[in-house]
Amino acid sequence: MNSGSEPFFVKNLENVQGDERDAIFISATYGPDARGNQYQRFGPLNGANGHRRLNVLFTRAKKRTEVFSSLDPDKIQTGPGSAWGLRALKQYLIFARSGILETADDGVEQATNDFERCVGAVLKEKGFEVVPQVGVAGFFIDLAVKHPTKAGSYLLGIECDGASYHSGRSARDRDRLREEILVNLGWTIHRIWSTDWFKSRAAEIDRLLKHIDEILTADPDFRREQTKQARTESLRQALLDLRREIDTEFPDSPPDKGLLRDELLEELMFRRPKSKDDWFRLISQRLRTGTEPKQVGRYLPRVLQAIADASS
């Protein structure tokens, strides 16, 4: 035992809940028997809160963590129905051994408390897809916001902290270290205190949405996708305006023969013919021959020009 204020300790998983040290040594010595059989017996890790126990354990160190293990993570059997604690242990041991971070777990269907559910509901109302309890090498993020244009990517991680963590210096130090680790793993973290949320909900929502907007504004891929979507909507509106003009000029034409009837309009939006050659090459004969010739002769050039303008 040293003479400082933080003595050396040895504790098991269930008891190391409030202690922090500069360096933490984690021993995972459960392994195969003499015949090489690895039994899938992981005690409290298979419980509903197993991942939370590990989440606390993996964030005890302020500066350094060392892992000693006789357990081969490749022999830990996990699947879609496995407990999150078991999956977190396997990911963390792989990360500790190789330094390679596996893809984040996809999270769970429900947030773990009313505070998280409330924050998630606000984001969903704004059109964002939110996944609770996404795990990265044993670190579980309360809410992860999916990127609106990059499949499989997360835009932001949100930490929803209760009032009990607000005043403790050790808790703040732990949160700072944990956030640094997550940032180094590629995450952008936004923290919300429950006291601030319930006292100044509107201000916290504005702060959260502003943070998301700043991230998206700085994302060139998102800006390109937004520009592409804006052009697509502009083209659709231009064709709908033309359709109203056509309907006015040809009031007696059957609706199912119109140049910009729904079926053909969608095909034009998808195929994007810009010339008469494209019209014959890209649009099926069935759709072309099923269209009133007078409308084609009068309005096809303007339709093709609108498509060309939207593509330039």
pLDDT tens digits, one per residue of 201-250 = 999 999 999 999 999 999 988 888 888 888 989 999 999 999 999 999 99
Which of 22-31, 115-124, 158-167 reaches the highest mean pLDDT? 115-124
pLDDT at 61 over 70: yes
CATH code of residue 118? 3.40.960.10
The structure's pTM equals 0.53
Average the pLDDT over each of 128-137, 147-156, 158-167 and give the range with the smallest value: 158-167
Confidence bin at 123 (pLDDT 50/70/90): very high
In this predicted structure, what is the pLDDT of residue 56? Answer: 72
pLDDT: which is higher, 288 or 43: 288
In this predicted structure, what is the pLDDT of residue 293? Answer: 95
**Is residue 154 situated within a structural domain?**
yes
In this predicted structure, what is the pLDDT of residue 18? Answer: 63
**Is residue 81 situated within a structural domain?**
yes
Where a domain ends, among 73, 98, 123? Answer: 98
Residue whose token pair is 């973290």: 189
**Is residue 159 situated within a structural domain?**
yes
**Is residue 65 situated within a structural domain?**
yes
In this predicted structure, what is the pLDDT of residue 297? Answer: 94
In this predicted structure, what is the pLDDT of residue 169? Answer: 45
In this predicted structure, what is the pLDDT of residue 1? Answer: 44
Where a domain ends, among 203, 218, 233? Answer: 218
Are 176 and 151 within one domain? yes
**Is residue 16 situated within a structural domain?**
no
Are 89 and 168 within one domain? no
pLDDT at 309 over 60: yes
Instruction: Give mean pLDDT, residues 69-80.
Output: 75
**Is residue 5 situated within a structural domain?**
no
Are 195 and 266 within one domain? no
**Is residue 4 situated within a structural domain?**
no
Are 198 and 237 within one domain? no
In this predicted structure, what is the pLDDT of residue 148? Answer: 84
Instruction: Give mean pLDDT, residues 45-49.
Output: 72
Are 213 and 234 within one domain? no
Instruction: Give mean pLDDT, residues 40-58.
Output: 73
pLDDT at 177 over 70: no
Are 211 and 227 within one domain? no
**Is residue 234 situated within a structural domain?**
yes
In this predicted structure, what is the pLDDT of residue 164? Answer: 47
Structural domain span for residue 69: 21-98
Are 211 and 273 within one domain? no
Where a domain ends, among 66, 98, 130? Answer: 98
pLDDT: which is higher, 138 or 127: 127
SS3 of the chain: the string is CCCCCCCCCCCCCCCCCCCCEEEEEEEECCCCCCCCCCCCCCHHHHCCCHHHHHHHHCCCEEEEEEEEECCCHHHCCCCCCCCHHHHHHHHHHHHHHHCCCCCCCCCCCCCCCHHHHHHHHHHHHCCCCEEEEEEECCEEEEEEEECCCCCCCEEEEEEEECHHHCCCHHHHHHHHHHHHHHHHCCCCEEEEEHHHHHHCHHHHHHHHHHHHHHHHHCCHHHHHHHHHHHHHHHHHHHHHHHHHHHHHHCCCCCHHHCCCCHHHHHHHHHHCCCCHHHHHHHCCHHHHHCCCHHHHHHHHHHHHHHHHHHHC
Are 282 and 227 within one domain? yes
Are 188 and 171 within one domain? yes
Are 214 and 231 within one domain? no
pLDDT: which is higher, 91 or 275: 275
Are 186 and 123 within one domain? yes
pLDDT at 3 over 60: no
Are 121 and 208 within one domain? yes
Average the pLDDT over each of 46-55, 68-77, 240-249, 289-298 and give the range with the smallest value: 46-55
How many domains does one find in the chain?
Answer: 3
